[in-house]
Chain A
Amino acid sequence: MHQPSIDAELLPALAVPDLQRTLPRESAAFVRVDTSLRTYWHTLFDVCPELLTLADPDGLRIFQPFMAWAAAERLTMNWTFYIWAYRWLCQSEFADRLPDGLAQSMLAASAARWATVDRGRHAGIVLTDACAALPTLVVGWKCDRVDGARRVERIGLEEPLDAPPGRFGHFLVPGFSLDTFPGWMAIPR
């Protein structure tokens, strides 16, 4: 069995559990890939712990097939990570057991992640779920004070906006006031 000696050789495996299994268990390469995979695991379950009530206590019945699907779909694993995890759940063995409010939680997690990792000029992001019981916007704001933090808020609407192009939609907000609706854009992959 080939034993990789440089980190770059492991790039294809860093987000793909199936490829970890091709490495010798007692190798540094195996543990290095494990360390990478755990980062994705924590990103998912630390933020959405309710997912652990759906499956096994360590979440692997969700984590491993989701990561395999994400790799097959070539998902970028950017701020949309949680939304795509939810979409996978909707077509998984867990589809008929998804708790109420999970979609809103996953939208909030994606909004928070956008506010954390985006380096563009926009100050906020607005997300929506066309299947929500009530028309609601989930809004993520970047940090606007040195002693502040990113913020996520939910805004209930009296009247729904136009429907997004799919179940979920988003748009970006230039400043820290939400006073225009430029129309929904699809969720990037």
Chain B
Amino acid sequence: MKLGFNFTLGGTYPLVCEMARAGEMDFCELLVDNFLQIPPAELAEAFPCPVAFHIMFSRFLENEQSALEALAERLRDYIAVMRPLYVSDHIATFSHEGRQLYHLAEVDYATAYPAVRARVQWWQELLGTRVHLENYPSIMAGGRDAPAFFERLAADTGCGVLFDVSNAVCAWRNCGVALADWQPVIASASHFHVAGYGESILAPKLTLDTHDTDLAPDTLGWLHDLRAQIDAPGHTLTYERDSDIEPDAVRAELRRLRTLLGADADASPVAIQTANHAPAQH
């Protein structure tokens, strides 16, 4: 398994390079659509480690076809030159009736399946590669349909699932989606995300995927439970942090993940945390 860190903006470039050269991370997950003004060969030269691609704003489920064709044409060049470990994107709602959402929404799994399946197939054809799609950090009870939706989508389209462990923890805390419900998805996943989460300002408290803090005990507990499935040849785990990026804290989290998922994992004290943490009931 390769352990990685996400790279979204230039400010953390020195940190990413230092950690890669020091062996603190094995690859860099690049938010590739932030860097499309940099020629592919130049971007490829910039990283002293393998890269993976995370596409943030394709909005491939709802964007106009012509815009997606133009974006895919450019992304194919980066894929050909940089040969990423994987290409990933998001199953989420980015707008409503033409108005942009600044906090992305969850698709309606009960009704959206035919349209999503068709778009996933088309987007993979446009990009010329398998795409790994990230699960949403569910807030509302509709999130309970997510595991079966992603399992069916992967089976029907050949897409992968970029299984975000902490997003699944958010869904568990907010609407009680059990880890066991995700097991068929996890069993076929090769690429994983994990990040810190926060709480809503107002009560009743919601758990929000904030990417601004250290990993929570229950997330580490889930990781420990899943370590045999995550730590396998060809697999990756990316620690995501997008704000409050303090280098020592990032390094400490990567070391903690390395230890948790490596040979010493059985000794980890965080393994007991899940049993003591009940999800919220709505």
Contact = CB atoms under 8 A, between A and B. Distances in A.
B98 interface: yes
Interface in A15-39: 15, 26-32, 34-36, 38-39
A68 to B, nearest CB: 13
Interface string A156-183: 0000000000000000000010000000
Chain B interface size range: 35 or more
A149 interface: yes
Interface residues of A, number: 45
Nearest to A36: B103
A7 B206 CA distance: 13
Contact of A145 (B38, B57, B141): B38
B105 A143 contact: no
Interface in B244-282: 282
Contacts of A26: 203-204
A123 B39 CA distance: 12
Contacts of A14: 96, 101, 103, 105
Contact of B33 (A11, A31, A71, A119): A119
B10 A145 contact: yes
Interface stretch (B66-74, B121-129, B230-238): B66-74
B108 A35 contact: no
Interface in B82-97: 93, 95-97
A57 interface: no
A45 B71 CA distance: 32
Interface string A136-155: 00000011111111000000
A8 interface: yes
A119 B67 contact: yes
A1 interface: no
A126 B208 CA distance: 36
Interface in B34-61: 34-38, 42-43, 46, 57-58
A11 B105 contact: yes
Given A121-B74, A143-B9, A146-B46, A75 B99 contact: yes
Contact of A74 (B14, B34, B99, B105): B99
B99 A15 contact: yes
8 contacts: A6-B141, A74-B97, A117-B57, A120-B70, A142-B37, A145-B38, A146-B13, A147-B13
